[in-house]
């Protein structure tokens, strides 16, 4: 009797389980495609034709279809690995995979920054940056806090806040050192900006403007693109007809001046003038001033000077180090070292540590 | 009108630098990025718009809300004839999705749904509203603002023509909202169901009720939430294949780096390839026996290591 009861109970339980499963299972002819990352399901089964007919039946059909599809999608989502948010106290969240549906981007890919002149040169020569990227904050020993490397409230003594300045040896005592420093700073800033703009111009110069596939571009850009395209014929654009309202372009393909030979006979006055001008320029001691070249030369010179100044500083540092190293070495070479340090001393007070070391050794 | 923001503005490619940190941040936020932000949508009313169209715009705006801009005034423009004003608006409000509503005799209750790439129209589909049930017409409870909807596309028609395929992709793009790493299960409250039958698209929006089923997965019941639209496809403007391909391009930096010497087979089993150098069998340590021991003379010439060790010791 008891065994019969058990069987009955088991059967009932099984039936109940089947019923609950039935409530969450949906049968479809074709399986749905899921993209859990986008909470997306695509049902490729054909829809009942009755949906196309007007009436309340359509709404019911659509709701049943939507319910079944949602049930399947929810089944997919519930199967994903879940956890409790906020370290076990929050609601249950599931980790979604990356979206698999490929959708167009909003904007084009970011372009890599064009190399500056120095970067290009360094790459060509295989020069690697020795210095690691510096952070913006540095420890200020005087203020006992972290401060910015530059700008307002910078670390170290801010040169702007100095209330007295030393007049360098050999300088005019009446010269305003503050004004001089301001002027130097202004020049450095200007030069930096000039170089930045030059780098920008250089990056833009070489490349022909891209034509956008949708064809909406501004006028100047289109003009430049057509000017480049005009030259893309076998005869470098020589026989290319002009469009009705197109502005005249430079005649020669390179955009430069085309050399014209003057008439052999005729304009005597002009010829005389030209020849005299030529002779005068040959006789002149000073070459004619080329402004761009002059500016570039000046800038280069200044850069070189700045670099030389830096190199000097470096050398001093090295010498100091060498002195220290010699200090540790036991005996010998003392005389030679003394000579060297003497040389350093003549130049200034930089040879100090070396000499002190030498004295100590004699003891 | 087009020159609101200069074209081609990369973050470092600018001649005039932004003066303030805020301006810089603003420009950086608009510049092309490796991982893009969520697409914003703008809702624009045409020169003439019926109440149906206006309400449809408002309701879809409500569904889309934190990532949407609703233009309140009329804008007399025809997207299929001249896209410049749309492109201008897109640039101005930094939106790459748009829904434009208009109404005239030839095309009554017209919605134009579209998306932009690089501030230029990529895809655009014109949909006519045949039946519209407003959000407020149904007196049921609604889901909270900004809920990420579940999207379901039903019907074989979505795969039959290129128009339908693009429309499907466009609708996913439009309604999917932000890409999230994880989602709260109880927060899955909203379903957008699109059914395609020939040229008709039935868009239905339901609120999800999770019922106890006795097992882990809950039983789903749906409740009409609105808005529901019966749409019919009219004109389309699809991007050319190469432009579409260009827009789909993914940055190299985001692609997962291929790990060397690791492969998987069809069943997901992981295989590792190991490269080994050839073993020197002369130095192989065999069984130690008195008879196999090297003599002292051999030790000196043959093995270099042992004398060194002796020296150290």
Using DSSP, state whether A303 is helix, strand or coil. helix
CA angle in degrees (0–180, nearest 5) for A29-A30-A33: 145
Residues of A in contact with B15 (CB under 8 A): 197, 200
| pLDDT (tens digit per residue) in B80-95 | 999 999 999 999 999 9
| pLDDT (tens digit per residue) in A323-358 | 444 444 444 444 444 444 444 444 444 433 434 434
Task: Name which of A303-307, B59-63, B293-297 the model is least confident about.
Answer: B293-297
Binary contact (B32, A104; C-beta < 8 A): no
- Residue in chain B closest to A204 (alpha carbons) equals B13
Using DSSP, state whether B2 is helix, strand or coil. helix
Binary contact (A69, B183; C-beta < 8 A): no
Bridge partners, B231 (sequence order)? B129, B201
Residues of B in contact with A80 (CB under 8 A): none
Residue among B41, B231, B246 nearest B125 (CA): B231
Asked if residue A184 has pLDDT above 50, the reply is: yes
Residue B111: what pLDDT?
A: 95
As a residue count, chain B comes to 313
Range ranked top by mean pLDDT from A49-63, A328-342, B104-118: B104-118
- Interfacial B residues in 110-169 facing A (CB < 8 Å): 115-118, 120-122, 148-159, 168-169
Binary contact (A93, B183; C-beta < 8 A): yes
Q: What confidence tier does A150 reach under pLDDT thresholds 50, 70, 90?
A: confident
| Partner residue facing B96 (CB), from A66, A106, A113 | A106
> φ, ψ for residue B197 (rounded to 5)?
-130, 110
Our CA-based measurement puts residue B38 at a distance from the nearest CA of chain A, in whole angstroms, of: 9
Q: What confidence tier does A48 reach under pLDDT thresholds 50, 70, 90?
A: confident
Would you put residue B32 in left (φ > 0), alpha (ψ -120 to 50) or beta?
Answer: beta
Rounded distance, CA B116 to CA B266, Å? 39
Residues of B in contact with A113 (CB under 8 A): 10, 12-13
Residue B284: what pLDDT?
A: 82
Q: What is the 3-state secondary structure (H, E, C) of B220-246?
A: EEEEECCCEEEEEEEEEECCCHHHHHH
Task: Calculate mean pLDDT across residues A157-184.
Answer: 86
Rounded distance, CA B173 to CA B238, Å? 15
The token pair at B300 is 């000196």
Binary contact (A38, B176; C-beta < 8 A): yes
Our CA-based measurement puts residue A209 at a distance from the nearest CA of chain B, in whole angstroms, of: 11
Binary contact (B191, A70; C-beta < 8 A): yes
Strand-strand pairing, B219-224 and B270-272: unpaired
| pLDDT (tens digit per residue) in B153-189 | 999 999 989 999 999 999 999 999 999 999 999 899 9
Rounded distance, CA B187 to CA B176, Å? 15
Residue that wins the pLDDT comparison between B275 and B10: B275
Using DSSP, state whether A92 is helix, strand or coil. strand
Q: Is the peptide bond before B227 cis (omega within 30 degrees of 0)?
A: yes
Using DSSP, state whether B42 is helix, strand or coil. strand
Binary contact (A110, B159; C-beta < 8 A): no
Binary contact (B182, A45; C-beta < 8 A): no
Rounded distance, CA B227 to CA B192, Å? 10
- Interfacial A residues in 172-231 facing B (CB < 8 Å): 197, 200, 203, 212-214, 216-218, 221
Contact A284, A302 (CB under 8 A): no
The token pair at B131 is 């039946």
Mutate to test the interface with B, among A104, A119, A210 (most CBs of B within 10 A): A104
Range ranked top by mean pLDDT from A24-33, A107-116, A276-285, B80-89: B80-89
B188-197 as b/e: b if 16+ CB within 10 A = bbbbbbbbbb
Residue B310: what pLDDT?
A: 43
Any B CB within 8 A of A1 CB = no
pTM, rounded to two decimals: 0.69
Binary contact (A39, B218; C-beta < 8 A): no
Tell me what percent of the residues of chain B surpass a pLDDT of 90: 57
| Partner residue facing B148 (CB), from A16, A24, A39 | A39
Q: Where are the alpha helices (DSSP H) in A28-128?
A: 56-78, 85-88, 117-125
Contact B143, B205 (CB under 8 A): no
Using DSSP, state whether B45 is helix, strand or coil. strand
Q: Where are the alpha helices (DSSP H) in chain B?
A: 21-30, 51-64, 84-93, 162-175, 241-248, 296-302, 305-312
- Residue in chain B closest to A98 (alpha carbons) equals B181
Residue A349: what pLDDT?
A: 40
- Residue in chain A closest to B150 (alpha carbons) equals A39
The token pair at A25 is 């299972």
Residues of B in contact with A70 (CB under 8 A): 150, 152, 191, 193, 206, 208, 220, 222
CB atoms within 10 A of CB B90: 24
Rounded distance, CA B194 to CA B201, Å? 7
Q: Residue B64: is it exposed, middle or buried by C-beta count within 10 angstroms (0-12/13-18/19+)?
A: buried
ipTM for the predicted complex: 0.80
Rounded distance, CA B162 to CA B196, Å? 14
- Interfacial A residues in 119-178 facing B (CB < 8 Å): none
| pLDDT (tens digit per residue) in B219-277 | 999 999 989 999 999 999 999 998 999 999 988 888 888 888 888 888 889 999 988 88
Rounded distance, CA B76 to CA B104, Å? 12
In the block, which residue shows the tokens 């499963």?
Answer: A21
Q: Using alpha carbons, list the distances in angstroms from residue A18 to A13, A36, A219.
A: 9, 27, 71
Residue A270 exposure: Cα atoms within 13 Å on the Cβ side:
6
In the block, which residue shows the tokens 């014929």?
Answer: A233
Asked if residue B294 has pLDDT above 80, the reply is: no
Q: What confidence tier does A264 reach under pLDDT thresholds 50, 70, 90?
A: confident
Contact B93, B42 (CB under 8 A): yes
Residues of B in contact with A49 (CB under 8 A): 197
Our CA-based measurement puts residue A74 at a distance from the nearest CA of chain B, in whole angstroms, of: 8
């Amino acid at each position: 009797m008891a065994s019969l009861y058990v069987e009955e109970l088991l059967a009932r339980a099984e039936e109940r389980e089947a019923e609950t499963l039935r409530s969450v299972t949906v049968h479809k002819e074709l399986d749905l495609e899921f993209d859990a990352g986008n909470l997306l399901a695509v049902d490729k089964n054909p829809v009942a034709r009755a949906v196309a007919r007007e009436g309340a039946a359509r709404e019911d059909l659509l709701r049943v279809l939507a319910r079944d599809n949602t049930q399947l999608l929810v089944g997919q989502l519930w199967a994903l690995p879940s956890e409790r948010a906020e370290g076990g106290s929050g609601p249950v969240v599931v980790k979604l995979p990356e979206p698999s549906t490929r959708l167009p981007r909003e904007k084009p890919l970011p372009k890599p920054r064009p190399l500056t002149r120095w970067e290009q040169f360094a790459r060509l020569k295989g020069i690697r940056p020795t210095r690691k990227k510096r952070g913006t904050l540095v420890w200020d020993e005087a203020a006992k806090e972290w401060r910015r490397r530059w700008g307002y409230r910078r670390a170290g003594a801010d040169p702007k806040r100095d209330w007295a300045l030393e007049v360098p040896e050999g300088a005019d005592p009446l010269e305003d050192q503050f004004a001089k420093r301001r002027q130097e700073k202004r020049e450095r800033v200007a030069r930096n900006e000039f170089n930045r703009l030059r780098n920008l111009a250089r990056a833009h110069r070489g490349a022909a403007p891209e034509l956008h596939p949708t064809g909406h571009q501004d006028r100047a850009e289109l003009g430049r693109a057509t000017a480049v395209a005009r030259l893309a014929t076998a005869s470098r654009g020589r026989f290319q007809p002009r469009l009705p309202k197109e502005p005249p372009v430079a005649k020669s393909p390179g955009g430069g001046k085309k050399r014209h030979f003057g008439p052999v006979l005729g304009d005597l006055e002009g010829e005389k003038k030209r020849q005299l001008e030529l002779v005068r320029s040959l006789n002149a001691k000073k070459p004619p001033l080329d402004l761009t070249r002059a500016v570039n030369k000046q800038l280069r010179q200044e850069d070189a000077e700045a670099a030389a100044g830096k190199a000097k500083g470096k050398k001093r540092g090295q010498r100091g180090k060498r002195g220290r190293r010699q200090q540790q070495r036991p005996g010998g070479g003392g005389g030679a070292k003394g000579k060297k340090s003497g040389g350093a001393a003549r130049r200034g007070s930089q040879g100090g540590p070396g000499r002190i070391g030498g004295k100590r050794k004699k003891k | 009108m087009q020159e609101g923001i200069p074209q081609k503005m990369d973050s470092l490619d600018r001649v005039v630098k932004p003066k303030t940190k805020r301006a810089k941040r603003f420009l950086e936020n608009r510049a092309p990025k490796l991982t893009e932000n969520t697409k914003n949508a703008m809702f624009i009313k045409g020169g003439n718009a019926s109440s149906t169209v206006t309400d449809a715009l408002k309701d879809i705006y409500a569904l889309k809300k934190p990532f949407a801009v609703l233009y309140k005034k009329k804008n007399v423009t025809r997207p299929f004839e001249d896209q410049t004003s749309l492109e201008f608006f897109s640039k101005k409000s930094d939106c790459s999705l748009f829904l434009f509503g208009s109404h005239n005799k030839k095309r009554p209750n017209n919605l134009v749904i579209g998306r932009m790439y690089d501030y230029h129209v990529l895809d655009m589909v014109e949909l006519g509203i045949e039946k519209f049930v407003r959000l407020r017409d149904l007196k049921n409870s609604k889901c909270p603002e900004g809920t990420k909807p579940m999207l379901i596309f039903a019907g074989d028609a979505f795969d039959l023509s290129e128009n339908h395929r693009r429309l499907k992709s466009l609708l996913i793009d439009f309604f999917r909202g932000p890409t999230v790493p994880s989602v709260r299960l109880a927060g899955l409250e909203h379903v957008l169901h699109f059914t395609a039958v020939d040229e008709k698209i039935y868009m239905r929006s339901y609120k999800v009720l999770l019922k106890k089923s006795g097992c882990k997965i809950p039983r789903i019941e749906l409740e009409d939430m609105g808005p529901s639209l019966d749409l019919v496809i009219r004109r389309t403007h699809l991007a050319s294949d190469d432009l579409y391909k260009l827009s789909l391009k993914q940055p190299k930096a985001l692609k997962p780096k291929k790990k060397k010497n690791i492969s998987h087979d069809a069943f997901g089993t992981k295989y590792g390839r190991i490269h080994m150098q050839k073993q020197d069998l002369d130095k192989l340590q065999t069984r130690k026996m008195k008879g196999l021991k090297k003599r002292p003379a051999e030790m000196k010439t043959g093995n270099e290591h042992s004398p060194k060790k002796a020296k150290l010791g």
